[in-house]
Amino acid sequence: MVQKEVDKMNINDILDKVIRKPYYYVPPCPECGSKRTGKIILSHDADTDQYIVETALKSGELTTVQDEYPFGNNLYCDDCGFTWWGRPELMWVSPGKILEEKTARGTVELLDKLKDTSKPKKKSVLQKFLVFRSPTK
């Protein structure tokens, strides 16, 4: 009977039950109840700030990087701007659960916006080889 159940499941269902990834769960905002909450990370290195935010967004976590904690608080609400002190809970969750959190927190759209703003615009082949010069007198 067990073999028949396994045959019915597709590979994604099996992997979703087996694979677990770390996820830092931030509870909903105590002020407005929104699930669009994240953690504040301390960093004084501008070069790593974008990497930290991008890595967190890929994991489905909202993160902002600041020089200091505002009023000693380390969690924030993206909707109402409220900050509070708390401890994000480390959970080992399935890729399906991470996808649910990405949807609830809107991290996919934020990651797309971040990539669009950070990419330098590519020049076309014509722009690379042609040099535009103003007419000389």
Could you report the per-residue pLDDT of 37-62, keeping only the tens digit for each?
999 998 888 778 888 888 888 889 99
DSSP assignment letter at 71: G
CA 120 to chain centre: 21
The yes-or-no verdict on residue 76 having pLDDT over 70 is yes
Residue linked to tokens 């991470």: 98
The yes-or-no verdict on residue 95 having pLDDT over 60 is yes
Confidence of residue 116 (pLDDT cuts 50, 70, 90): confident
The Cα–Cα gap between 76 and 64 comes to: 9
Question: What is the share, in percent, of the chain residues with pLDDT greater than 70?
Answer: 79
The Cα–Cα gap between 58 and 22 comes to: 12
The yes-or-no verdict on residue 8 having pLDDT over 80 is no
Say what the pLDDT of residue 110 is: 87
Say what the pTM is. 0.69
Average pLDDT across the chain, whole number? 81
The yes-or-no verdict on residue 7 having pLDDT over 50 is yes
Classify residue 71 as exposed, middle or buried by CB count within 10 Å of its CB (0-12, 13-18, 19+).
Answer: exposed
Pairing of strands 89-93, 37-42: unpaired
